[in-house]
A and B are shown apart, each in its own frame.
Chain A
Amino acid sequence: RKEVEQDPGPFNVPEGATVAFNCTYSNSASQSFFWYRQDCRKEPKLLMSVYSSGNEDGRFTAQLNRASQYISLLIRDSKLSDSATYLCVPDTGRRALTFGSGTRLQVQP
C-alpha cells in the first residue's frame, strides 16, 4: 500500500468556489502532516503544517481524522492563483518526508 494516496484530479472549479481534497495515509504512527503546493515547473512550497486535529490559515483549512487515517484540505473562495498541485505529506518518523504526485487544481474564471 502506498504511504499516501490522493486523487490526482484535475479538479476544475470556478472562481469563488469551495473545493476540498482528501488524502489517505497508511502509517498510523505518523504524527505530523503537511500540505505543500507546487506550481507548474516550480518548487514545492509549504502551505500548512498539521500537528493536531487541524489547522486554519485564512481561506485554507486542514482537518485530520486519525481514526480513518485521512487528512483533508478545504479551500474557500477559490482564486485563479490557487491553481496548482497540492501535495499531502505525512511524516515518516525518519526525519524525511514522502511526497506523492498530489492533486491538481485548476480554478477557472
Chain B
Amino acid sequence: NAGVTQTPKFRVLKTGQSMTLLCAQDMNHEYMYWYRQDPGMGLRLIHYSVGEGTTAKGEVPDGYNVSRLKKQNFLLGLESAAPSQTSVYFCASSKDGYEQYFGPGTRLTVT
C-alpha cells in the first residue's frame, strides 16, 4: 500500500521557471491538501480540495495554482518561481478532512 506519494523528491529551479508537483494517493480519499514548511516553522496550508474537480485557497495561496482532475491526484503548480518559494512541500490526503496522511515531501530550492 503506497499511501501518499509525491514527485519529484528534490528540485532546483531558477527564478521565473515553472514546475508542477504531483501528489497521488491510493486510499480513495476525498480530501487532499498542499502545505509548505519553511525551516523551523509549522506547516502552512496553500490549497486544498474537498473532492474531484474542486479546489479552495488555504492560508498562503499566492503564486500557486492547483488542479484535481482525478480523485487520486492533486497537482500543485508554480507558474513563475521566486526565491521566497524555496521550501519543503507536503501533500496530504484525508477520508474526512481531519485525520490526514502525508507524503514524504518535495524539497524545492529556487535560486
* Residue in A32, A42, A45, A96 whose CB lies within 8 Å of B58: A96
Q: Determine if B102 and A97 form an interchain contact, defined as CB atoms under 8 angstroms apart.
A: no
Question: Would you call the interface of chain A mostly helix, strand, loop, or mixed?
Answer: loop
**B interface residues (Cβ-Cβ under 8 A, vs A):** 31, 33, 35, 40-45, 48, 50, 58, 88, 90, 94, 96-105
Contacts of A102 in B (CB 8 A): 42
Q: Which residues of B contact A59 (CB under 8 A)?
A: none
Check: A17 CB closer than 8 A to any chain B CB.
Answer: no
Q: How far is the CA of A97 from the CA of B93 in the complex (A)?
A: 12
Residues of A within 8 A of B (CB): 32, 34, 41-46, 49, 87, 91, 95-102
Whether A43 touches B50, Cβ cut-off 8 Å, given contacts A34-B98, A96-B33, is no
Is the beta-carbon distance between B42 and A99 smaller than 8 angstroms? Answer: yes
In the complex, which residues of chain B have a beta carbon less than 8 angstroms from the beta carbon of A99? 35, 42-44
Chain A residues in 8 Å Cβ range of B103:
43
4 closest Cβ pairs, A-B complex: A95-B97, A43-B102, A99-B43, A101-B42
